[in-house]
């Protein structure tokens, strides 16, 4: 079955109402800001590489201002924050990102003799396919398990993306409208504040 589309603006509108607690508004509203971000950890070229990789995993051609995912990763690594665990086969997170992003560039060079950021989107996708399949070329993969790197990269980008109010609009999620509680729990029973698919 084809997946549903939801109307735009639902979460943004809810965040302006008293259906959302102050604590929840304080968490979500800042994520809507599109002010430019200056990387704190990565150097400029590595940061652009991370942005390009993020854009490959989460392509957003329809958005004038795509949801920026690289700042979330750069900020976390700069602060030394963690999600509480790490695969023992992986080096510490900063090292893993440095080596893994370098490995993506090595794969791009091996396939197209050019760094990842300058490749056309189709070429980037083929490089990413090789990384996802664990077949990408590059000496860096000898010291970093490519499957675990891809899994961790994907999971972190995903958590960043679906934490964004616009991504939550995209999937029809309005659980942040937490003040009134929910009384219509049965399948196909919606509350007035729950958007219907278009």
Partner 1 sequence: MPDEEVLEEGVLNPIKPEIQDPLLKSILAEDEEFAAASPVELEQSAPLPDPVDEVDCVVIGTGAGGAPLLARLAMAGLKVVALEAGPRRDPTKEYATDEKAQHFLFWNDERLSAGKTPVAFGNNNSGTGVGGSTLHYTAYTPRAHRGDLSLFTDFGKGVDWPFGIEELEPYYEELEHFLGVSGPASYPWDPNRRKSYPLAPLPLNGAALLMQKACADLGIRTSPAANAALSARYYQEGIGWREACTNRGFCQAGCNRGAKASMDVTFLPLAESYGAEIRSDAFVTEIERDAQGRITAVVYEQYGEQKRQRCRHLFLCAGAVETPRLLLLNELALTSGQVGKNFMAHPGMQVWGTFANDIRPYKGIPGGLISEDTHRPADADFVGGYLLQSIGVMPVTFASQMVRQRKLWGQPLRDYMRNYNHVAGINILGDCLPHQSNFLELAEEKDARGLPKPRVHFSAQENEQRMNTHAEKLMRQIWQAAGAQDIWAFERYAHTIGTARMGLSGDDAVVNADGRAFDVPNLYICDNSVFPSALSVNPALTIMALSLRTADKFLAAQQRLDR
Residues in contact with partner 1 by CB under 8 A are 1, 3-6, 20-24, 26-28, 56-59, 80-89, 92, 125, 128, 132, 150-151, 154-155, 158-159, 161-163, 168, 170-173, 175-176, 178, 180-188, 190, 194, 197
Q: Which is nearer to partner 1, 1 or 44 (CB)?
A: 1
What sign results for the dihedral spanned by CA atoms 126, 143, 73, 42? negative
Least Cβ distance, residue 165 to partner 1 (angstroms):
10
Provide CB contacts within 8 A for 42, sequence distance 6+: 50, 74, 77, 97
Q: Which is nearer to partner 1, 18 or 81 (CB)?
A: 81
3-state class (DSSP) for residue 1: coil
Alpha carbon separation from 29 to 128, 156, 180 (Å, rounded): 32, 21, 20
Provide CB contacts within 8 A for 69, sequence distance 6+: 54, 58, 157, 160, 161
Least Cβ distance, residue 70 to partner 1 (angstroms):
16
- The total number of residues shown for the chain amounts to 198
Q: Which is nearer to partner 1, 44 or 88 (CB)?
A: 88
Least Cβ distance, residue 77 to partner 1 (angstroms):
13
Q: Which is nearer to partner 1, 116 or 161 (CB)?
A: 161
């Amino acid at each position: 079955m084809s997946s549903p589309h939801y109307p735009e603006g639902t979460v943004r509108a809810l965040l302006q109402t008293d259906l959302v607690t102050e604590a929840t508004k304080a968490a979500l509203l800042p994520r809507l800001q599109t002010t430019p971000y200056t990387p704190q950890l990565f150097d400029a070229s590595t940061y652009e590489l991370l942005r390009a990789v993020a854009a490959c995993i989460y392509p957003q051609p329809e958005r004038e201002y795509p949801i920026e995912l690289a700042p979330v990763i750069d900020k976390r690594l700069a602060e030394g924050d963690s999600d509480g665990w790490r695969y023992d086969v992986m080096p510490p997170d900063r090292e893993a990102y440095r080596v893994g992003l370098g490995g993506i560039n090595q794969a791009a060079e091996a396939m197209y003799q050019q760094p990842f950021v300058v490749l056309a989107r189709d070429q980037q996708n083929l490089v990413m396919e090789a990384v996802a399949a664990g077949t990408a070329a590059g000496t860096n993969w000898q010291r970093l398990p490519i499957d675990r790197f891809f899994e961790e990269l994907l999971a972190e980008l995903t958590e960043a993306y679906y934490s964004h109010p616009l991504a939550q609009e995209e999937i029809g999620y309005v659980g942040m409208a937490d003040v009134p509680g929910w009384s219509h729990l049965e399948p196909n029973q919606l509350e007035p504040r729950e958007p219907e698919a278009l």
